[in-house]
Chain A
Amino acid sequence: MKVVETEELPVYDSSLQRSMALSELLDAYRYRNAIFQLTRRDVVSRYKRSFLGIIWTMLNPLGMMIILAVVFSNIFNAGPTYAAYVLSGLIVWNFFSQTTNAIVNNLNAGMGLIRKIYVPQSVFGISAILTGLVNLLFALVPLFLVMLLTGVHFTWAFIFTPISIILLALFSLGVGMILATLGVFFPDVIEMYQIVLVAWMYLTPVIYPIAILPETTRFLIINFNPMYAFVQIFRATTYDGRLPMLEEFLPALIFSITSVVFGWWFFSRKAGDFAYRV
């Protein structure tokens, strides 16, 4: 442990007027190991005490799918592939609802830390998304199985799936960061969000086919529900076995970029005030 005097010392200057969004981004990059470690902690610790461990990430959506398939397949008069249809929708929906809440919870849990030592606040949000991505990856395994068992065909279009997932992740990050920021100042927002989520899920064709909706409702959902776009492009390359059409892909791209840019900007602008909340 020798201090080398010629060493370039890190310098902090509070008066440096850089864009807050940009400096948050640079700091998040500098703390990328923290992002990785927090993700690792969340993935490892969640299942550490359970016997089946990480297998639960696969059993969870599978169990839900079985329930929904049993309940709804008669109502919708759907064929055997309905199970794969539901599961592909559920994977997208669960990712969104779980990660947006996880960002809020992660930031709340990190608040004690944020008031004591310097950590770029966005690392809590990004790590929540990465944890969600790990879970999603595991959830793809039962989707393959169900697709195989129900006779849905795989095609090369599947290679495109990671792009749908990345767009979904960016969208969720943006929404989660807006929520987390509001939640710091108005905790009620988080409670309200839980109700919004329930309504939002039923406004998204996760368990029902979009065709059963009346025309006006369908028009509104297709054009104004971002989650429709993400469910649609994810299903295209898995369940439908085709590449998404441009009119499906573009809305998803626009929703996700708008969300992550606005969310990041809003969050970084307010992040400096978090430690002031006592």
Chain B
Amino acid sequence: MPTVYRIQPDHDWAFEKDVRIILENVSVLYHLPRERIQTFKEYAIRMIQNRLEYIDFWALQDVSLYLKKGEALGIIGVNGSGKSTLLKVISRVLRPSKGRVRIQGRVAPLLELGAGFHFDLTGRENIFLNGALLGFSRVEMEEKLDAIVEFSGLWDFIDAPLRTYSSGMVARLGFTIATDTDPHILLMDEILSVGDAEFVNKSEQRIQKFREKGVSMILVSHSLLQVESLCERVIWLDHGRVIVEGKPSDVIQAYTNRKQQD
């Protein structure tokens, strides 16, 4: 087994200036009914008969991690190991069932590009809508508008309804708004490659610039090669637990060894 760099349990968890994310013993419990109960009547009958059956499913168990300014953390694991749940806890979508999550800085979740896009509205209108759903004020969006249109290369189409856009153009717009937020933390579920080759290149450069500026990043990916080349630290999740945490080469080695055994 490789060296395990677990965070120290006796560490004082005060936020230092360069810490971006601290997760302490975070668990997420899905409490799901075994069968979906559709009506009150059914619910009431089952409650009286004490036949309400639930499946308790721990999507994350006792996960602790930290992320410092400028660090890139990779998360690997098979499907259903809790990778996406981890991102949801960090992006505030899920409140943890146990444990504590603390975030310092603006999070840019590159998970849902073009949130709330409406296809009858123009590109410009959608920029304001999407930006608002990401938590920005109207003034902030007005300041960003030109840069967003410029970067996405949609000058000629910005006042046309979104339904006239190609899917690549929609994705370009979504990516540009999501990243034009001066973030401190980037959350990524697989490396995005949207639009044509030229735009893929541009978006990679933008991510690279973020990294140089000291933006932290969490990358969830099935591509071990990408994780190894982009991240400085890797966590291997399995059944919602951290199996190993450490240097990319070590963790990936351990992970591939285990996979070969199975």
Q: Which of A13, A45, A116 contacts B118 (CB 8 A)?
A: A45
The minimal Cβ–Cβ distance linking B111 to chain A, given in whole angstroms, is 5
The minimal Cβ–Cβ distance linking A24 to chain B, given in whole angstroms, is 12
Instruction: Given A11-B103, A41-B118, A117-B93, decide whether A186 and B38 contact each other with a Cβ distance below 8 A.
Output: yes
Q: How far is the CA of A13 from the CA of B213 in the complex (A)?
A: 25
Residues of B at under 8 Å CB distance from A? Answer: 15, 17, 30-32, 37-40, 43, 88-89, 91-96, 99-106, 109, 111-112, 115-116, 118, 120-121, 125, 128-129, 132-138, 141, 161, 182, 184, 213-215
The minimal Cβ–Cβ distance linking B5 to chain A, given in whole angstroms, is 24
The minimal Cβ–Cβ distance linking A42 to chain B, given in whole angstroms, is 9
A110: nearest chain-B partner, CB-CB: B116
Asked if A117 contacts B32 (CB within 8 A), the reply is: no
Taking the complex as formed, is A64 at the interface, i.e. its CB lies under 8 A from any CB of chain B?
Answer: no
CB contacts under 8 Å to B, within A1-20, are 1, 3, 5, 9-15
Instruction: Given A31-B132, A117-B133, A186-B40, decide whether A38 and B100 contact each other with a Cβ distance below 8 A.
Output: no
Asked if B132 contacts A10 (CB within 8 A), the reply is: no
Q: Which of B32, B102, B106, B125 contacts A13 (CB 8 A)?
A: B102
Q: How far is the CA of A30 from the CA of B182 in the complex (A)?
A: 18
Q: Which of A3, A5, A15, A119 contacts B182 (CB 8 A)?
A: A3
What's the dominant secondary structure at chain B's contact region? Answer: loop
Asked if A113 contacts B112 (CB within 8 A), the reply is: yes
Taking the complex as formed, is A188 at the interface, i.e. its CB lies under 8 A from any CB of chain B?
Answer: yes
Taking the complex as formed, is A187 at the interface, i.e. its CB lies under 8 A from any CB of chain B?
Answer: yes
Taking the complex as formed, is A269 at the interface, i.e. its CB lies under 8 A from any CB of chain B?
Answer: no
Q: How far is the CA of A272 from the CA of B89 in the complex (A)?
A: 12
Asked if B93 contacts A188 (CB within 8 A), the reply is: no
Asked if A272 contacts B129 (CB within 8 A), the reply is: no
Residues of B contacting A5 in the complex (Cβ-Cβ under 8 angstroms): 17
Count of residues in A whose CB is under 8 Å from the partner chain: 40
Residues of A contacting B118 in the complex (Cβ-Cβ under 8 angstroms): 41, 45
Q: How far is the CA of A272 from the CA of B116 in the complex (A)?
A: 20
Taking the complex as formed, is A153 at the interface, i.e. its CB lies under 8 A from any CB of chain B?
Answer: no
Instruction: Given A36-B138, A41-B129, A278-B32, decide whether A116 and B102 contact each other with a Cβ distance below 8 A.
Output: no
Asked if A12 contacts B102 (CB within 8 A), the reply is: yes
Taking the complex as formed, is A37 at the interface, i.e. its CB lies under 8 A from any CB of chain B?
Answer: yes
Residues of A contacting B129 in the complex (Cβ-Cβ under 8 angstroms): 37-38, 40-41
Residues of A at under 8 Å CB distance from B? Answer: 1, 3, 5, 9-15, 30-31, 33-34, 36-38, 40-41, 44-45, 48-49, 110, 112-119, 186-189, 272, 275-276, 278
Asked if A13 contacts B101 (CB within 8 A), the reply is: yes
Residues of A contacting B103 in the complex (Cβ-Cβ under 8 angstroms): 11-13
Q: How far is the CA of A36 from the CA of B128 in the complex (A)?
A: 10
Q: How far is the CA of A116 from the CA of B91 in the complex (A)?
A: 8
Asked if A116 contacts B135 (CB within 8 A), the reply is: no
Q: Which of A11, A116, A278 contacts B115 (CB 8 A)?
A: A116
Residues of B contacting A116 in the complex (Cβ-Cβ under 8 angstroms): 93, 109, 111-112, 115
Residues of B contacting A45 in the complex (Cβ-Cβ under 8 angstroms): 118, 120-121
Residues of A contacting B30 in the complex (Cβ-Cβ under 8 angstroms): 276, 278
Beyond A9-B184, A275-B88, 9 additional pairs, beta carbon < 8 A: A13-B100, A14-B95, A14-B96, A33-B138, A37-B129, A40-B129, A49-B120, A117-B133, A278-B32
Q: How far is the CA of A153 from the CA of B197 in the complex (A)?
A: 69
The minimal Cβ–Cβ distance linking B186 to chain A, given in whole angstroms, is 13
Q: Which of A14, A33, A44, A115 contacts B101 (CB 8 A)?
A: A14
The minimal Cβ–Cβ distance linking A72 to chain B, given in whole angstroms, is 35
Residues of B contacting A115 in the complex (Cβ-Cβ under 8 angstroms): 88, 93
Residues of A contacting B39 in the complex (Cβ-Cβ under 8 angstroms): 186, 188-189
Asked if B115 contacts A117 (CB within 8 A), the reply is: yes
Residues of B contacting A114 in the complex (Cβ-Cβ under 8 angstroms): 93
B109: nearest chain-A partner, CB-CB: A117
Residues of B contacting A188 in the complex (Cβ-Cβ under 8 angstroms): 38-40
Asked if B182 contacts A186 (CB within 8 A), the reply is: no
